[in-house]
């Protein structure tokens, strides 16, 4: 009999209950007891949704981030938060976001909060984790209270449990050395704490523990390969069975290593690595469990259950009870429940599966494997009918769009002149001071904005009244920026619900859910649009709003667009054609918008590519193929304008040093990037690479409520000026200000403008 299990379940709740609970607590509007009760309620619901599984995950629920949870479990806290004497959860939030509640901070050693932990992307996903910080003197000490509490809850409810933890080698690999020391030198100190944790779980009656090691799907040098052998040969004496879980990619040359680690079972991502499964079986010792991730945990299309069974049935005969099946990775990356959708197009909805539906698909596969296909014939027939409908739908394929992509030439993505020739023309037109100041695009999405949008969508507000509300908010944003003395303004994006969804709503080939939320980080949730068909722009999307904003000021107003690569990477993308094809379709649509903005008199246009790096394959040998089509897509979208039009792009919260050459090839006149949380470490790339165009290294962390000082921002810009000539530097926040409140934004930007003035005075 095949065993079913799950690697993780979405923790935000079907209606984002966790988001609202966290934000209420951080504002001091609810108690820690209420937040903890919400956590228990969500966990109970999640376990109920997974009741049909043979093993359900425990410990996958988090109040912010599973990697930060692991840091606290290992007693691995940054030095700056170790003196806190309040609630452990408040200290946890201080690492996550720089502070907890106002009351908690009042009892802290420094009521202004602390520096938040650095945040970056979890492998190649749009989920962000809090980066562990290491030094040569880092020590670890077990604190299993969080995991044991959740385990006790599950056991009390009769859940067939499988605790989930981040593995030791991946934990070290995804962290950052703060003093240049070798992270692997910490492995001998780390492993005894892991062993203690595993034996503690065994003492509570746990049989299986899922230990996540996605680092195994990356290219490992000899030291990291040795670290895996060292780690698991030490942990093999623990009194639990380990299911070592890999996902997001292929094992390739690491297959022999993974197959022969002394663990009881191995999980592999059969969505990404189906061709590697049979060779892996040939390597796997005969006593080991093989778990296959056969349901896509990162996308929302229905699984072809018949085709999957055609592949799985011979493996089931070969492996017998050693075969487990599961989603490919944690379902954290997909929405909770398709059944919640009331407005999604019925035909498109029939093609989809969210987390709960994916577990239903898993049960159909298990029933067919265990009892034969006739036991689930109706489900298989319905699945095939939905797949056939999708393949045949004229809404999916538009020949005119495919023809336009086929006519793209290399020249379409090239500016008329080089940056060196363009820059003087732009300077003459824009007349900006040294260290020009700007923001990344969005300003606070106030309660009034959200209410107006909700009323408009519900029909309680007509189009004219909605436009009036949005124009009033744009006027406010322009007025505040002029009062602050910013040099290049933005309209604030009051009319935009999300930087991707807003554009998708105006493009043919996209559909939208009501409740298709997924967690990006902490309480930040996004609702990715569904790219189901060929993309076409029926009409301008941003021109009227930008033209109105420019009419309010004599200062340059940036046109704000989301780039094709980011729209692609932050969408649920169709799986029936190459992603590169869909990206070029998007590039042509954004190009039309860029040209319309220029025609309307807009002289600065920002095309955000925040997600460029997260689309990188996990293996460097595959990077070039991706970067070639991703960079070309950006260039197609951006480079039809005249020399005098200044093109900006923005990227945030990723490591860019190793792809800086490709970023330079995008040939944007100005790039803005996140550097504040990393203390300008991202600019280390310029020690060896001479970036040719202008750059705005973000000088304050907008994801923390802490107020940055003028002196701190001046110091960061001086660090930047050591790598990039001062005449090519801009001063800006590290990301958009949508998630902040005006009382936080105004003083922070005042300090930023003051920092720019100080820098100009020193330059003079």
For 377-391, what is each residue's pLDDT tens digit?
A: 999 999 999 999 999
CB 122 within 8 A of CB 129: yes
Q: What is the pLDDT of residue 652?
A: 73
Annotated binding site for L-homocysteine: 440-442, 493, 608
Mean pLDDT across 445-460:
92
Decide if pLDDT at 200 tops 80: yes
Annotated binding site for L-methionine: 440-442, 493, 608
| pLDDT band of 678, cuts 50, 70, 90 | low
Decide if pLDDT at 683 tops 80: no
Annotated binding site for 5-methyltetrahydropteroyltri-L-glutamate: 16-19, 121, 524-525, 570, 614
| Tens digits of residue pLDDT in 85-100 | 889 999 999 999 998 9
Report the greatest alpha carbon distance in the chain: 82
Q: How far apart are CA 466 and CA 455, in angstroms?
A: 9
| Tens digits of residue pLDDT in 316-329 | 999 999 999 999 99
CB 525 within 8 A of CB 12: yes
What's 696's DSSP letter?
E
Q: What is the pTM of this model?
A: 0.88
Q: What is the pLDDT of residue 707?
A: 87
Decide if pLDDT at 57 tops 80: yes
Length of the chain: 764
- Percent of the chain past pLDDT 70, that is, above it, reads 98
Closest CA to 493 of 440, 564, 419: 440
Annotated binding site for Zn(2+): 650, 652, 674, 735
| Tens digits of residue pLDDT in 504-513 | 999 999 999 9
State the average pLDDT for the chain: 94
Which H/E stretch holds residue 164? strand 161-166
Torsion of CA 755, 759, 760, 761, to 10 degrees: 100
Q: What is the pLDDT of residue 654?
A: 57
Strand, coil or helix: what is 182? coil
Mean pLDDT across 751-756:
96
State the DSSP string of 468-483: HHHHHHHHHHHHHHHH
Show which residues are catalytic. Answer: 703
Closest CA to 334 of 680, 663, 7: 7
Strand spans (E) along 309-409: 323-327
């Amino acid at each position: 009999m095949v065993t079913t299990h799950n690697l993780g379940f979405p923790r935000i709740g079907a209606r984002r209950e966790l988001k609202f609970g966290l934000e209420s607590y951080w504002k001091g509007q609810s108690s820690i007891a209420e937040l903890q009760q919400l956590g228990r309620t969500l966990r109970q619901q999640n376990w109920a949704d997974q009741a049909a599984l043979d093993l359900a995950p425990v410990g996958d629920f988090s109040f912010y981030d599973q990697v930060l949870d692991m840091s606290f479990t290992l007693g691995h806290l940054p030095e700056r938060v170790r003196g806190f004497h309040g609630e452990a959860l408040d200290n946890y939030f201080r690492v996550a976001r720089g502070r907890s509640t106002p009351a908690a901070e009042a009892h802290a050693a420094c009521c202004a909060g602390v520096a938040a932990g650095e945040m970056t992307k979890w492998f190649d996903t749009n989920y962000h984790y809090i980066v562990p910080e290491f030094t040569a003197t880092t020590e670890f000490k077990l604190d299993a209270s969080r995991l044991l509490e959740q385990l006790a809850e599950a056991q009390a409810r009769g859940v067939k449990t499988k605790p989930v933890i981040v593995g030791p080698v991946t934990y070290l690999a995804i962290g950052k050395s703060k003093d240049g020391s070798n992270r692997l030198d910490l492995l001998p100190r780390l492993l005894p704490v892991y062993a203690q944790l595993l034996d503690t779980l065994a003492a509570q009656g746990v049989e299986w523990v899922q230990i996540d090691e996605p680092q195994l799907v990356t290219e490992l040098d000899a030291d990291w390969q040795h670290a895996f052998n060292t780690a698991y040969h030490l942990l093999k004496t623990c009194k639990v069975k380990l299911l070592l879980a890999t996902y997001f990619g292929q094992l390739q040359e690491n297959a022999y290593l993974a197959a022969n680690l002394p663990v009881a079972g191995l999980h592999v991502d059969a969505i990404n690595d189906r061709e590697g499964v049979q060779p892996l079986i040939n390597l796997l010792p005969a006593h080991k469990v093989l778990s296959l991730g056969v349901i896509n945990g990162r996308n929302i299309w229905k699984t072809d259950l018949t085709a999957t069974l055609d592949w799985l049935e011979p493996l089931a005969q070969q492996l017998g009870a050693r075969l487990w099946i599961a989603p490919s990775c944690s379902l954290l990356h997909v929405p909770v429940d398709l059944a919640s959708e009331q407005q999604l197009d019925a035909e498109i909805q029939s093609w989809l599966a969210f987390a709960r539906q994916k577990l239903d698909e898993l049960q159909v596969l298990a029933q067919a494997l265990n009892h034969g296909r006739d036991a689930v014939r109706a489900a298989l027939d319905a699945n095939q009918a939905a797949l056939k409908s999708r393949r045949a739908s004229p809404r999916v394929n538009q020949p005119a769009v495919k023809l336009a992509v086929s006519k793209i030439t290399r020249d379409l993505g090239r500016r008329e002149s080089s940056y060196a020739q363009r820059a003087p023309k732009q300077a003459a037109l824009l007349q900006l001071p040294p260290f020009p100041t700007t923001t990344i695009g969005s300003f606070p999405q106030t309660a009034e904005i959200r209410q107006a949008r909700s009323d408009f969508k519900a029909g309680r507000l007509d189009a004219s009244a909605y436009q009036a509300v949005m124009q009033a908010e744009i006027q406010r944003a322009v007025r505040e920026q002029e009062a602050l003395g910013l040099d290049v303004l933005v309209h604030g994006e009051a009319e935009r619900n999300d930087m991707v969804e807003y554009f998708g709503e105006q493009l043919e080939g996209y559909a939208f859910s009501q409740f298709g939320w997924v967690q990006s980080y902490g309480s930040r949730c996004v609702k990715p649009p569904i790219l189901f068909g060929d993309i076409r722009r029926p009409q301008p999307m941003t021109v009227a709003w930008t033209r109105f904003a420019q009419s309010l000021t004599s200062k340059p107003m940036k046109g704000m667009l989301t780039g094709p690569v980011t729209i692609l990477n932050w969408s649920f993308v169709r799986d029936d054609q190459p992603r590169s094809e869909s990206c070029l379709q998007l590039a042509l649509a954004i190009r039309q918008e860029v040209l319309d903005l220029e025609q309307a008199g807009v002289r600065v246009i920002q095309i955000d590519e925040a997600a460029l790096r997260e689309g990188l394959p996990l293996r460097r040998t595959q990077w070039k193929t991706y970067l070639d089509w991703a960079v070309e897509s950006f260039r197609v979208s951006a480079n039809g304008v005249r020399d005098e039009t200044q093109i900006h792009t923005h990227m945030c919260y990723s490591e860019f040093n190793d792809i800086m050459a490709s970023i330079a090839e995008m040939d944007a006149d100005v790039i803005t990037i996140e550097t504040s949380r990393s203390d300008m470490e991202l600019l280390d790339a310029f020690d060896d690479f001479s970036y040719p165009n202008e750059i705005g290294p973000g000088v304050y962390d907008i994801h923390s409520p802490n107020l940055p000082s003028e002196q701190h921002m001046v110091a960061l810009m001086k660090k930047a000026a050591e790598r990039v000539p001062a005449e090519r530097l801009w001063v800006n926040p590290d990301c958009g200000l949508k998630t902040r409140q005006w009382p936080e934004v105004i003083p922070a930007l005042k300090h930023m403008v003051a920092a720019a003035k100080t820098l100009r005075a020193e330059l003079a």
